């Protein structure tokens, strides 16, 4: 879907904002200014970073991050550079995140609900991750307009920039705040 369509449709879905997380790319930033758009929808750029131990939605100054990092190196780098990493679609068959990364608290926040996981996979995430103290968010993982807004997260903090978003996610990590996730 085009970014323009996503922003228009987000407004129709009643979303206050969307995160754009293309695979290993933040190139969308060249097309759309980050932050609130003319229709009020706030656009935040991150990316989905794949490792052999799972996929992560990362937010920070990562336009030039090379591919191929191992999950532990990636997470250490994100921490050192003031960003955040959200475990993407944990427990998805064939593309799950190694569970010990939650147990050891290397990953402190993850998608409890992902719009492209099946309900069994989401149920495993929703029941197992709280035991490790992992904070949960929801994400649509939308690859087209129809999928946009299928899963929504109500953040406890107003977000108008990537910095605000990172702070909101950090707050969830630190407090394990129970966000509302809608689907």
C-beta atoms surrounding 22 within 10 Å: 12
| Cα 172 from Cα 27, distance rounded (Å) | 28
Question: Which residue of the chain is nearest Zn ion when measured via CB?
Answer: 55
Q: Give whichever of 41 and 106 is closer to Zn ion, judged by the CB atom.
A: 106
| Cα 54 from Cα 103, distance rounded (Å) | 14
> Under the rule (CB under 5 A), what is the footprint of Zn ion?
55, 88
CB of 134 to Zn ion, least distance (A): 17
Rounded to 10 degrees, the C-alpha dihedral 77/161/114/107 comes to 30
CB of 22 to Zn ion, least distance (A): 11
Q: Give whichever of 55 and 121 is closer to Zn ion, judged by the CB atom.
A: 55
Q: Give whichever of 15 and 88 is closer to Zn ion, judged by the CB atom.
A: 88
CB of 153 to Zn ion, least distance (A): 17
C-alpha 89: how far from chain center: 9
Q: Give whichever of 88 and 169 is closer to Zn ion, judged by the CB atom.
A: 88
In contact, 89 and 117? CB cutoff 8 Å? yes
β pairing state of 17-20 and 42-45:
parallel
CB of 35 to Zn ion, least distance (A): 25
């Amino acid at each position: 879907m085009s970014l323009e369509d996503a922003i228009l449709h987000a407004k129709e879905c009643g979303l206050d904002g969307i995160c754009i997380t293309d695979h290993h790319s933040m190139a969308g930033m060249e097309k759309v200014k980050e932050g609130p758009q003319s229709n009020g929808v706030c656009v935040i750029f991150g990316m989905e970073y794949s490792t052999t131990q799972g996929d992560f939605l990362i937010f920070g100054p990562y336009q030039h991050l090379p591919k191929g990092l191992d999950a532990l190196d990636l997470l250490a780098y994100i921490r050192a550079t003031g960003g955040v990493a959200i475990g993407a679609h944990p427990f998805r068959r064939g593309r799950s995140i190694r569970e010990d990364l939650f147990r050891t608290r290397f990953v402190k926040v993850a998608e409890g609900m992902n719009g492209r996981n099946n309900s069994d996979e989401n149920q495993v995430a929703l029941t197992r991750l709280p035991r490790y103290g992992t904070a949960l968010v929801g994400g649509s993982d939308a690859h087209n307009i129809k999928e946009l807004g299928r899963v929504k997260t109500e953040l406890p903090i107003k977000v108008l920039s990537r910095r605000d978003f990172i702070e909101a996610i950090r707050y969830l990590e630190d407090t394990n705040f129970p966000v509302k996730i809608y689907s």
